[in-house]
């Protein structure tokens, strides 16, 4: 019962989605397909048998009407074909739309401050939730709900047809055999396959995580001599997944045998009832053929539900993982989260403590950033610069205190570019930017001449992570995207780390010119502020203020441009 309770939020999501009418239409078309198939086989059996019986006598052969049954056969054949095609299109379209909305909803939850940083340490788990677990939920509607509706309809139609053509006892017996046998096979499959699906899912997740770690850290693994151990972990996870696949395939074969036996027993029961009534003279041979062949089509939903029964365990496991996240989707930030006039960031009595950490990184500190100010966060490695930047950007929730800030854009230390054209990568900063505005941002970032030299200029496609540009060019393209963003607060995390001196100077000069231009031409309410995390003198010397984070004392030391204290803090940084 607990397993099915986990599935309830997913079923409610399907039922309450904007596409529920389309989903109901798909289930209706599936039921029409089954009914048309049953009518087609039943009428065909009756037609062939009645034609044979009528041909035994010249008198009956002359008066026998072949046109009406023939037209009925063609009608039900075309109806079944059209309904089957329409059902496939409608059900798959509705499922894909619902899963797309579910993936966005889940991503919004995983991007919340309380889970984003934790999942950043386990990217394979995040990928598994957004791909494999979401994909597993397609069985809820396609292979469980829709075939179950078809099974109920076919069982009811079988019972009704046999009651009309034979007697109510035969209809009740055979209809109950079809329904109870199918549900029993599904329940047996779910019960015996859940643990196997659990092991396969865990093995698949371990395999994916191990492969991602091996690809992403192959240089470090080679240098540390751990590549062979990592490959052994991959092989072990693959063996576990293979063993689980073998057991699931055996289970599916056993379920197929069980469902075939249910079908054979139900067909045999219908045949025996029809033969008994035919022997007593209550029905003729055409009706007996109709009752027998009708049942063959009634068992079609069992074939479709078999795969759903195999995947039910995997679906329940995915629902257990996803359902708690869907029950508590975070709301957007309140409208009054902006700081007081004249401030870009206002932190009051803030403490930062990571989950599982015995001590806070920083506690009970205040920090204000004026609108139009350029502030640099500095300090030794591990002092908490990145945590403070994540706190300002909203990627990390404070353990105590309040953080108020203006809307912001971020340039992380790792450049994030996508496999798309240059213009599309830039318009992530401002989707409505014109080509002239794109070129202006590239000019400010010192990249305009490079892009003009490309074969298709702004329409030049880039590979994953900006493949096709050098590291410095990718960095400046990300900077140009930041320059386009209308947010009044910019967050820069070591913007020139890893760049050569010339490129780094170009990047810092572009940032300084952009900041000066924004300060001069800012709106009546905002002039634009910069918060930068840095440990290099070439970055910090442009700032209006340096805030030095002292992890040992747990305090912030501040100095403004033009003072001896500012020069003293600057000397603590690496020259770069």
CATH code of the domain containing 289: 1.20.1560.10
Answer whether 132's CB lies under 8 Å from 204's CB: yes
Neighbouring residues of 112: CB distance < 8 A, sequence distance ≥ 6: 330
- The answer to whether residues 224 and 290 belong to one domain is yes
Residue 46 located in a structural domain: yes
Cα(483)–Cα(486) distance, rounded to whole angstroms? 8
Among 264, 295, 326, the domain boundary falls at: 326
Q: Residue 213: what pLDDT?
A: 78
pLDDT at position 85 is 92
What's the longest Cα–Cα distance across the chain?
A: 122
Q: What is the mean predicted confidence (pLDDT) over 168-197?
A: 79
- pLDDT of 111 reads 63
Count up the domains in the chain and report the number. Answer: 2
Same domain, 434 and 549: yes
Q: Which range in 115-119, 187-191, 545-549 is most confidently predicted, on average pLDDT?
A: 545-549
Angstrom distance (rounded) from CA 201 to CA 378: 44
Q: How sure is the predictor about 82, in pLDDT bands with cuts at 50, 70 and 90? A: very high
E strand intervals along 314-431: 343-352, 362-370, 374-378, 400-405, 408-411
Residues 281-309 have a mean pLDDT of 78
pLDDT of residue 331: 45
Q: Give the N- to C-terminal CA distance of the chain in Å, as an integer.
A: 62
* Residue 170 shares a structural domain with residue 24: yes
Q: Which structural domain, as residue segments, surrounds residue 136?
A: 2-326
DSSP summary character for residue 78: H
Q: Is residue 336 in some structural domain?
A: no
Rounded to an integer, the average pLDDT of 211-239 is 83
Same domain, 313 and 439: no
Are both 304 and 416 inside the same structural domain?
Answer: no
DSSP state of 145: I
Average pLDDT over every residue of 444-470:
75
**Which stretch of DSSP H or E encloses residue 550?**
strand 545-550
Is pLDDT of 78 > 90?
yes
Residues 381 and 320 in one domain: no
128-132, 347-351, 536-540, 564-568: least confident range: 128-132
| pLDDT class of 335 with cuts at 50, 70, 90 | very low
Asked, for residue 370, whether it belongs to a domain, the answer is no
Q: Are strands 408-411 and 489-493 parallel, antiparallel or unpaired?
A: parallel
Q: Is position 407 within any domain?
A: yes
Domain co-membership, 59 together with 193: yes
Structural domain contains residue 388? yes
CATH number of the domain at 513, please: 3.40.50.300
In a domain, 337, yes or no: no
DSSP result, 455-480: TTGGG-B--GGGTTS-HHHHHHHHHH
Mean pLDDT over 518-541 rounds to 72
Domain identity same for 319 and 463: no
Q: Are 109 and 24 contained in the same domain?
A: yes
Give tens-digit pLDDT for 228-265. 888 888 888 888 888 888 888 888 788 888 878 887 88
- State whether 316 and 417 are in the same domain: no
The whole-chain average pLDDT of the chain stands at 77
The arithmetic mean of pLDDT across residues 461-481, rounded, is 73
CA 519 vs. chain centroid, Å, equals 41
Task: Please say which residue of 294, 309, 326 terminates a domain.
Answer: 326
Give the angle 157-276-180 at the CA atoms, nearest 5°.
Answer: 35
Residue 567 lies in a domain: yes
Question: Is residue 9 domain-shared with residue 73, that is, in the same domain?
Answer: yes
pLDDT at 333 over 60: no
* 417 plus 290 within the same structural domain: no
Residue 63 has a CB neighbour count (10 Å cut-off) of 8
Residues 149/366, Cβ–Cβ less than 8 Å = no
Cα(146)–Cα(96) distance, rounded to whole angstroms? 15
Q: At residue 118, does pLDDT exceed 60?
A: no
- Burial readout 514-549 (b: 16 or more C-beta within 10 A, e: otherwise): bbeebbeeeeeebbbbbbbbbbbebbbbbbbbbbbb
**Does residue 340 register a pLDDT over 60?**
yes
Is residue 366 situated within a structural domain? no
For the ranges 30-44, 58-72, 427-441, 556-570, the maximum mean pLDDT occurs at: 30-44
Residue 129, pLDDT above cutoff 70? no
């Amino acid at each position: 019962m607990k397993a099915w309770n986990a599935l309830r939020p997913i079923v409610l999501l399907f039922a309450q989605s904007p596409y529920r009418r389309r989903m109901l239409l798909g289930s209706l078309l599936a039921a029409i397909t089954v009914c048309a198939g049953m009518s087609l086989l039943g009428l065909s059996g009756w037609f062939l048998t009645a034609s044979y019986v009528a041909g035994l006598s010249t008198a009956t052969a002359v008066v026998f009407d072949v046109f009406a049954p023939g037209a009925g056969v063609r009608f039900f054949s075309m109806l079944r074909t059209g309904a089957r095609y329409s059902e496939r299109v409608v059900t798959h379209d509705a499922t894909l739309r619902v899963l797309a909305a579910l993936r966005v909803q889940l991503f919004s939850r995983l991007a919340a401050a309380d889970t984003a940083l934790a999942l950043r340490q386990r990217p394979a788990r995040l990928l598994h939730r957004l791909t494999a677990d979401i994909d597993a939920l397609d069985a809820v509607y396609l292979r469980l709900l829709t075939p179950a509706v078809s099974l109920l309809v076919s069982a009811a139609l079988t019972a009704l047809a046999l009651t009309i053509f034979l007697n109510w006892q035969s209809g009740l017996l055979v209809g109950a055999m079809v329904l109870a046998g199918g549900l029993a096979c599904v329940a047996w499959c779910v019960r015996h396959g859940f643990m196997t699906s659990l092991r396969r899912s865990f093995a698949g997740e371990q395999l994916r995580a191990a492969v991602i770690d091996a690809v992403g850290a192959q240089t470090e693994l080679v240098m540390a001599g751990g590549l062979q151990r990592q490959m052994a972990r991959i092989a072990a996870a693959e063996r576990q997944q293979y063993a689980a696949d073998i057991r699931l395939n055996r289970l599916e074969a056993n379920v197929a045998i069980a469902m075939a036996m249910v079908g054979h027993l139900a067909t045999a029961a219908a045949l025996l009832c029809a033969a008994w009534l035919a022997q007593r003279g209550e029905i003729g041979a055409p009706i007996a053929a109709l009752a027998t062949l009708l049942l063959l089509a009634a068992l079609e939903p069992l074939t479709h539900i078999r795969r759903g029964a195999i995947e039910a365990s995997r679906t329940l496991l995915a629902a257990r993982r996803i359902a708690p996240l869907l029950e508590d989707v975070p709301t957007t930030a309140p409208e009054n989260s902006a700081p007081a006039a004249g401030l870009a960031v206002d932190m009051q009595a803030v403490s930062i403590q990571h989950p599982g950490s015995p001590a806070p990184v920083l506690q009970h500190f205040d920090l204000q950033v004026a609108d139009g100010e350029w502030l640099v966060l500095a300090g030794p490695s591990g002092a908490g610069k990145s945590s403070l930047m994540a706190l300002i950007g909203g990627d990390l929730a404070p353990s105590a205190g309040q953080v108020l800030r203006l809307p912001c854009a971020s340039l992380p230390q790792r450049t994030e570019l996508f496999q798309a054209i240059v213009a599309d990568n830039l318009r992530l900063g401002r989707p409505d930017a014109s080509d002239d505005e794109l070129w202006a941002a590239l000019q400010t970032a010192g990249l305009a001449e490079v892009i003009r030299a490309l074969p298709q200029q702004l329409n030049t496609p880039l590979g994953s992570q900006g493949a096709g540009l050098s590291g410095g060019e990718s960095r400046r393209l990300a900077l140009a995207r930041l320059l386009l963003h209308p947010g009044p607060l910019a967050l820069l995390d070591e913007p020139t780390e890893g760049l050569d001196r010339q490129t780094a100077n170009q990047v810092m000069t572009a940032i300084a010119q952009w900041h000066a231009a924004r300060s001069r031409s800012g709106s009546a309410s905002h002039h634009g502020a910069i918060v930068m995390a840095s440990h290099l003198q070439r970055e910090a010397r442009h700032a209006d203020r340096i805030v030095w984070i002292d992890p040992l004392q747990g305090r912030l030391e501040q100095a403004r441009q033009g003072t001896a204290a500012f020069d003293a803090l600057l000397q603590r940084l690496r020259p770069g």
